[in-house]
Chains A and B, each alone.
Chain A
Amino acid sequence: MATVMIVEDDETLNEVLQYNLERAGYRVIPVFDGAEAMRRIENEQPDLLLLDIMLPGADGWEVCRFLAKTPSAARIPVIFFTAKGTREDFDIARQVPNFAGYFTKPYATADVLRHVNKMLEEAGA
C-alpha cells in the first residue's frame, strides 16, 4: 500500500483529500505545516508528496530544498498545490527535480486522484 503525505494547512482541504485518498486505498499522512513535513519525511518515507506552496512557517519551497539535500528523500515525487492564479508558482515548481504535477485551487478531486494514481504507478510503488 502506497503512502501519500499531504502537506496542506487548510484543515478542511487536508481532511477531504485524506478521506478521498484513503477511500482510493492509500495510506495517508496528513501534515499541516512545512516544519512538520520536514520532521516526518525521513521516518515516514512517503511514496508521494502532495505539497501546498503557501504554508505557515517553512513554505513549500523550503520543503523542496530539504528534499534536495536529504538523500533518503531526494527522489520522492511532489505534486504541487497553489492558490495563486498566476503562473509564477508553476514556473518555479517546474524547476524542482521532484516535480510530478501542479494543481491550481480549486481543482477537481477526481483529477488529483487520477494524477496521484498515475504518478505512483510510474514510480512503481
Chain B
Amino acid sequence: MSSIRARLVVGGFLAIVVPLVIFSYISVRLLWQFYLQELEAELRTHASLIAQSSAYILAPETPNDPKALAALVDRWQSTSNIRLTLCDHEGIVQAAPESDLIGRQVDEDRQPGMMEALRGSANATVWKSPNFQYEDTMYVNLPVRLDGRLVGAVRVAYTISQIRHKVAFIQKALTATLAGYAVLILLLTGLLGAAIVKPVEKLSEDARELARGNLGHAVDVHGFSEVRNLALTLDHMRLRLQSLEELRRRRVADVSHEIRTPLASIRAMAETVMVYGAHDPTIRERFLNRIVEQTDRLAGFASMLLDLEQIESGRMRFEMMPLDIEDVLQTALLTVEPQVRNKGVHVNYLPAADLPKVLAEGERLIQIFVNLIENAVRHTPAEGIVRIETRRDRESMVVDVEDTGCGIPAEHLPHIFDRFYRVDKNRAPGTGGAGLGLCIVRETVIAHGGQVTVKSDERRGTCFTVRLPLTTRPSDGIRKE
C-alpha cells in the first residue's frame, strides 16, 4: 500500500467507483418506490372509476344483476390486465376473478383490506397473494358509495412483477455499466500509476548509480514535470559532484606538483653540500642558506593550503575589530620592504586623510595586502612603480594596488583568483608563488564581507581593487563627519 501505484489504484477506485455504487443503489430504490406510487395512483383511479360504475348495480335496492356485474368486470379486466373483486355492503362477493369466491363472505385472509374498505376507508397493500401464484401483487381496496351511502367495496389487483422486471433490468444495466467502469478506472489508474512510477523508478535507479560513485552516469530526464524537475536537480547535483571530484583530484595533483620542485632543489643542495661542502665553504654556506629559505617557502605553502581550506570550509574564525587601514598598510609595506629593495621598485603610497575604520582581523588584513603588494612588486620591472591608494566610496573602504608590469592577458583575468592558476602555466613554482596567494586574498576579502576585483592593461599594468565594509559604529561615524 505504500507504493504510489497501489495508492492511485485503490484511491481512484474508492473515490470514483464506491460513490457510484451507492448512487446507483439509491437510484434503484427510488425508482422502485416511484413505480409503486405510480401504480398505486393508477389503480386508485381505476378502482374509483369501477366504484362509480358499479355503485348502482351493487346498491341493495337494485335487483341482483350478476350479468351486468360480470360484463363490467370483464370489460375492465380485458382492457387493463387488472383483476377485480366486488362485494356488496354485507361483504358478499359479487364478482371475482375466481368464480368459486362469488357468493362467499369477504375473507380477511384471502382479501386483506377489503373489510376495511367496507368500513369506509380506502387502502392499498402489496401482498404475496395465493391467487397470483404468490407473486407480489398490489391491491387497492375502495369503498363503493352511492349518494354518500356505502353500498359495497371494490378490490383492484395488479401484479407488480412487471415493475420488478423493469427495475431489475435497470439494475442489471447499471451493474454492468458500473463493473465496466470499475475495470476502466482500475486500468486508467494503473496506467497513470505506471506512467508516474516508471520515471521515478528510473530516477531512483540513477540515484543509486550516483550513490555507488558512478558520476559519469547521466540522469535520465523524462516523465511528468515534477519528476523531470527532480531528475534535473539530481543531474545538476551529479555534475556538481563530478566537478568537485575533478577539482579535488586536480588539487591533489597540483599540491604534489607544487612541492616537488622545492624538494628537488633542497635535496640537490643537501647532496651537493655533502659531497663538496668540506672543500668549498662558499658553496656550503650558500646552499645551506638556500635550503633554509626553501624550507620556509614549503612551510609557507603548507600554511597557505591550510588557511585556504579553513576559509573555504568556513571554519576560519575571524577576530573582527575596527582597524585603521593606514596602520594595516604600513605594516604590510614593512613586511615586503626586502623584496621592494631587492627588486628596486618604487612604492608610491597615497593614503587618503581622515578615513573611517574598517572592521577586520588585523593579521588577515595585513596578509591580504602583503600578498597583493608582493605580487605587484614581482610583476613590476626594476625602477617601475607600485601605486597603493586608499579612498572612501560611500560605505566601503577602497584600496588599489597597482603595478606597472606587463599586465595580464584578458583571457586569464577571469581565472586569476582560482587556486593554482598561473597566467604562465609552465612557470616553475619558485618564481611566481604557488598560485594560492590571490586565491587566499579573494577568499579572505569575501569572508570579511568585501570584494576584490582586477583590471589589467597589457601596456600599463594590473590594478587590484579591494573593497571592505566600513565599521558602522556610531562613534566612527561621528569621528569622520
User: What's the Cα separation between A9 and B283 when bound, in Å?
Assistant: 20
Contacts of B430 in A (CB 8 A): 9-12
A92 within 8 A of B: no
Contacts of B253 in A (CB 8 A): 84-86
Query: A106 near B426 (CB under 8 angstroms)?
Result: no
How large, as a class, is the contact surface on chain B? 20 to 34
Query: B283 near A12 (CB under 8 angstroms)?
Result: no
Q: Which of B122-130, B269-277, B400-408 contacts A (4 or more CB under 8 A)?
A: B269-277
Query: A19 near B272 (CB under 8 angstroms)?
Result: yes
Query: A13 near B268 (CB under 8 angstroms)?
Result: yes
Query: A9 near B428 (CB under 8 angstroms)?
Result: yes
Q: Which of A39-47, A51-59, A65-73, A115-123 contacts B (4 or more CB under 8 A)?
A: A51-59
Asked, given contacts A17-B268, A19-B283, A109-B267, whether A85 binds B256 with beta carbons under 8 Å apart, the answer is: yes
Query: A85 near B269 (CB under 8 angstroms)?
Result: no
B330 within 8 A of A: no
User: What's the Cα separation between A59 and B425 when bound, in Å?
Assistant: 9
A2 within 8 A of B: no
B137 within 8 A of A: no
Query: B256 near A106 (CB under 8 angstroms)?
Result: no
Tell me the A95-125 residues at the B interface (CB within 8 Å).
104-110
Contacts of A16 in B (CB 8 A): 265, 268-269, 272, 287
Asked, given contacts A54-B428, A57-B424, whether A109 binds B271 with beta carbons under 8 Å apart, the answer is: yes
Distance to closest chain A CB from B284 (angstroms):
11
Query: A83 near B427 (CB under 8 angstroms)?
Result: no
Contacts of B261 in A (CB 8 A): 10, 13, 83, 105
How large, as a class, is the contact surface on chain A? 20 to 34
User: What's the Cα separation between A9 and B422 when bound, in Å?
Assistant: 15
Query: B260 near A105 (CB under 8 angstroms)?
Result: yes
Return the contact of B426 from the options A20, A54, A108 (Cβ within 8 A).
A54
A87 within 8 A of B: no
B366 within 8 A of A: no
B290 within 8 A of A: yes
Distance to closest chain A CB from B52 (angstroms):
119
B51 within 8 A of A: no
Contacts of B275 in A (CB 8 A): 20, 23
Query: B260 near A83 (CB under 8 angstroms)?
Result: yes
Distance to closest chain B CB from A7 (angstroms):
11
Asked, given contacts A106-B260, A107-B264, whether A9 binds B427 with beta carbons under 8 Å apart, the answer is: yes
Instruction: Identify the closest chain A residue to B283 (Cβ).
Output: A19
A-B contact pairs, 8 of them (CB 8 A): A9-B428, A10-B431, A17-B268, A54-B426, A56-B426, A83-B260, A85-B257, A106-B264
Q: What would 10 more interface pairs be, CB under 8 Å, given A16-B287, A107-B264?
A: A9-B431, A13-B265, A16-B269, A19-B283, A23-B275, A55-B428, A83-B261, A85-B256, A106-B266, A109-B272
Seen from chain B, the residues whose Cβ lies within 8 Å of a Cβ on chain A are 253, 256-257, 260-261, 263-269, 271-272, 275-276, 283, 287, 290, 294, 424-431
